[in-house]
A = this chain, B = another copy of it.
Amino acid sequence: MSVLPHSHVSPLSSSSSAFFNQNTFSGVRTQIVSVSSKKAGVCKCVAASPAEQTAYKTKVSRNGNIAKLQAGYLFPEIGRRKAAHMLKYPDAQVISLGIGDTTEPIPEVITSAMAKRALGLSTVEGYSGYGAEQGEKQLRAQLASTFYTNLGIEEDDIFVSDGAKSDISRLQVLFGSNVTMAVQDPSYPAYVDSSVIIGQTGQYQKDIEKFANIEYMKCTPENDFFPDLSKVSRTDIIFFCSPNNPTGSAASREQLIQLVKFAKDNGSIIVYDSAYAMYVSGDTPKSIFEIPGAKEVAIETASFSKYAGFTGVRLGWTVVPKELKYSDGFPVAKDFNRIVCTGFNGASNIAQAGGLACLSPEGLEAMHEVVGFYKENTKIIVDTFTSLGFKVYGGIHAPYVWVHFPGQSSWDVFSEILEKTHVVTTPGSGFGPAGEGFVRVSAFGHRDNVLEACRRFKELYK
């Protein structure tokens, strides 16, 4: 595949460790070499070369906010661990239930629409150049009518994007450095890391494993994974993910009513990450905008990634209702529009054609099938750990199973599972200090792999 030989990275000479060594997790890192896993390639861009030792330095100061970040971003780190393991056990059949990456093919009704759009770009009639930065009108309208039926969300409230992760960063640029923020603890690491990068936080406090000036809202079995809001300090921004990554729990309607009231009382803005909404069943809300009054206090970000297998295709959207206002009455959407127009040029038109196909009747049915498949995986994993006597959370409204290993270190459990079963999971503490003692098992995998992983879990914990 590659034009370059795979082997040339292995030297990882001294300077590379200097370049890459953030003395993060353990010594495993020094062994890491780029291999077949595409994720493993991640570290290469910082790999060493003799040229690195040039003496010249610019006089530009390193951004102090970025310097505050700890270790690497979680998922590339998992990728590195996996790659190292594969080097150590070249013959092992490694199964990844780690980074939450979709595995099932995209339904044909969707890919054929993308292929058609791509081929059409070679014709005079089918060609299109720059699209609206906010996304194609028709897609925005379909998103509004499909996901926000009767909720008063309009086409022009919706900004189509290349995915929720990108939008989270754009939202941080929108808010700037002079706001305070709260996150669920544990939570998807992009919230905290992007907050640090934009300068909203203080330094990392090693003893409590938290950044200063972030309000960590503890979510544990003790509080049903919903924060005790009476103990949460007011912040400007509240990141809230439901169904939650990593705990897999979904906030109930009653809880979300509390959350909206809390935001309203405090004049806060909720950034509601609903990337797993289609995994929800029953009366549990799928959108924060199901809660009356939420349009005045909430933004919602969402994605096709986990519904249609679009993790690589890249398509998401963010809803910024026109009712949402800053303290001076200025509409937040107007500034977000400016951010989008200045720093983004729209999602790929081919991906947008795929998004439209996702929202056709056949596409919706196909997405429901994909979601249903992963939910069956989830049940298999839940049943396995339950049968082994573990306390297991999540896994009902989300494709994540949150397994409790009381009193143990998440990274130790992660390492033991990897070493003894060749299954990659994600250590709970990677999502925040309240994740310590848990491991997240993702239900994204081929059925055979999920079954085999569960067989190995049973072997390990019998």
Contact = CB atoms under 8 A, between A and B. Distances in A.
A116 B328 CA distance: 51
Interface string A174-196: 11111100000000001001100
A346 to B, nearest CB: 7
A462 interface: no
A103 B119 contact: no
Interface stretch (A36-44, A384-392, A407-415, A428-436): A36-44
A130 B138 CA distance: 27
A34 interface: yes
Contacts of A45: 134, 156-159, 320, 322, 333-334, 337
Contact of A150 (B5, B54, B149, B325): B5
A56 B3 contact: no
Contact of A22 (B166, B292, B364): B364
A153 interface: yes
15 contacts: A10-B150, A15-B283, A19-B334, A24-B146, A32-B155, A52-B331, A60-B237, A66-B338, A76-B341, A103-B127, A105-B127, A162-B162, A165-B343, A170-B343, A313-B348
Interface residues of A, number: 190
A65 B21 CA distance: 35
A56 B296 contact: yes
Given A20-B334, A54-B323, A327-B60, A4 B153 contact: yes
Interface in A140-166: 141-142, 144-159, 162-163, 165-166
A297 B54 CA distance: 12
A206 interface: no
Contacts of A325: 54, 56-58
Interface in A119-135: 119-124, 126-134
Contact of A58 (B46, B58, B61, B268): B268
B63 A25 contact: no
A312 interface: yes
Interface in A255-269: 263-264, 266-269
Nearest to A175: B63
Q: Please tell me how many copies of the chain the complex holds.
A: 2
A64 interface: yes
A156 B47 contact: yes
Contact of A132 (B38, B149, B174, B446): B38
A228 interface: no
Interface string A240-278: 000000000000000000000001101111000000010
B122 A107 contact: yes
A238 to B, nearest CB: 11
A42 B312 contact: no
B166 A345 contact: yes
Contacts of A18: 149-151, 290
Interface string A91-128: 00000000101111111101110111011111110111
Contact of A342 (B105, B190, B326, B328): B190
A2 interface: yes
Contacts of A104: 127
A162 B20 CA distance: 23
A168 interface: yes
Contacts of A394: none
